[in-house]
């Protein structure tokens, strides 16, 4: 599933710092590759080039649209 990040549920310094370090910003497109059943972490593809894993806690803070 491809989605675009449009807002954040939480704008804490820690979350903003995490996203900045991962080079994730509003307007970026991510493709959800898989969700781990055990801990709900997500394997994603950022802007069709960078593959990474994000925790369920981070993913739940991202507001996205298809």
Predicted confidence at residue 11, as pLDDT, reads 87
Predicted confidence at residue 24, as pLDDT, reads 96
Mean pLDDT, rounded, for 31-58:
95
Mean pLDDT, rounded, for 26-51:
96
Contact indicator for 3, 54 with CB cutoff of 8 Å: no
- Model confidence at 43: pLDDT above 90: yes
pTM score: 0.88
pLDDT for 18-37, tens place per residue?
Answer: 999 999 999 999 999 999 99
At 62, give phi and psi (nearest 5°): -90, 125
């Amino acid at each position: 599933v491809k989605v675009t990040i449009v807002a954040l549920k939480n704008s804490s310094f820690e979350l903003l710092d995490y996203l900045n370090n991962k080079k994730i910003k509003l307007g970026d497109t991510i493709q959800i590759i898989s969700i781990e059943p055990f801990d709900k972490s997500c394997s994603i593809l950022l802007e069709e080039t960078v593959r990474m894993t994000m925790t369920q806690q981070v993913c739940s803070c991202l507001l996205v649209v298809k």
